[in-house]
Structure 1
């Protein structure tokens, strides 16, 4: 029997030592009370360890709930409001496997709510990565709207999605695979007006 991969530990091994610039459980509790929903432990662990950060120039974890300058709660609210206003996909003639309502088993899709899609991350190609209440029956799965406005569901946790994306798999919609062999580049984003982006690299990868 093949051993199951611990994707959270695999992500940590890929990205290297945690920065832990922010480590305030109360900030997560406040955010979860605000949206009426507990966020996945693996996502919170990764954000605590590295955010705000851009990974390999392609993926943004650009906020943390304890960071005033790049506040995750504010970012979620802003994204959710924008998505709630832009609902043109509801009138599209989507195939069932590309319709977020079918993917999430919901009659309608809301954003930023306890039973809706919560924006978690974004890519440089314009894709947005959401936490979904359900993806093909899998609780707290990942839904992505790709840069081509296509929707795709992944019945997996965030850590597995992130690991696969950074390994060059097509995880963010059509033609989204981007492989950067070698160590992952971490660009730690400024968290105040006097800071600049700072670069670091993760360990060597056997790719």
Structure 2
């Protein structure tokens, strides 16, 4: 059985773990009223705030005052709660209520969608209470307004994204030759984005 988190770490190279802090995660989870997946927390501790291959943002960490994950979750959830996403004409397989087996969708709540990541092309990646019966699966709202459920862990979703599968909406599969580019985002005044590359991919 594939250890997807380790596979992602192998693709990205040594972790910097700039903000790893179990107490910060505990505070955030108490605020959210639910635990976040262990693999997601391990990845964020290892690399965030970061942008991968120029598109995928995991731009916050609960222990980073300048890019605080709790504040990002609150503000993003508020935007989605006030949006009119339900007004789109959605087929059942594209309706997050069907995907998550919930009569209504909420954002940032213990039984709702928790924003985890985003892309510069407009896709939003959420943790869902369940996806087609799979607990703590991933739901993505693509840039065209379509929703897709991925009944898998965050680490598997991220691995499949990084190897070029269609994980952020219709026609989103993108294969990048060479090692993965990591852009470590500024986390304080006077800092600049720092670019590094993972090891050569054996794929």
Taking structure 2 as the reference length, the TM-score comes to: 0.98
Q: In the alignment, what sits opposite 2:6?
A: 9
> 1:179 deviation in Å?
1.2
Establish whether residue 105 from structure 1 lines up as the match of residue 101 from structure 2.
yes
CA distances 1:3-50 after superposition (whole Å, capped 9, x unpaired): x11000000000000000011100000000001010000000000000
> 1:94 deviation in Å?
1.4
Runs of 4+ in 1 over 6 A off after TM superposition: none
Q: In the alignment, what sits opposite 1:76?
A: 73
Q: In the alignment, what sits opposite 1:129?
A: 125
The alignment of Structure 1 onto Structure 2 pairs a total of residues equal to 203
> 1:89 deviation in Å?
2.7
CA distance in 1, matches of 2:37, 2:114: 11
Q: Structure 2 unaligned runs (5+)?
A: none
- Equivalent residues of 2:113, 2:129 under 8 A apart: yes
Establish whether residue 156 from structure 1 lines up as the match of residue 184 from structure 2.
no
> 1:157 deviation in Å?
0.3
Q: In the alignment, what sits opposite 2:87?
A: 91
CA distance in 2, matches of 1:23, 1:173: 31
Partner of residue 51 from structure 1, selected from 37, 43, 48: 48
Alignment of 1:132-151 (within 5 A): 132-151=128-147
Taking structure 1 as the reference length, the TM-score comes to: 0.97
CA distance in 1, matches of 2:10, 2:79: 35
Q: In the alignment, what sits opposite 2:200?
A: 204
Q: Structure 1 unaligned runs (5+)?
A: none
C-alpha RMSD of the superposition: 0.7
> 1:91 deviation in Å?
3.1
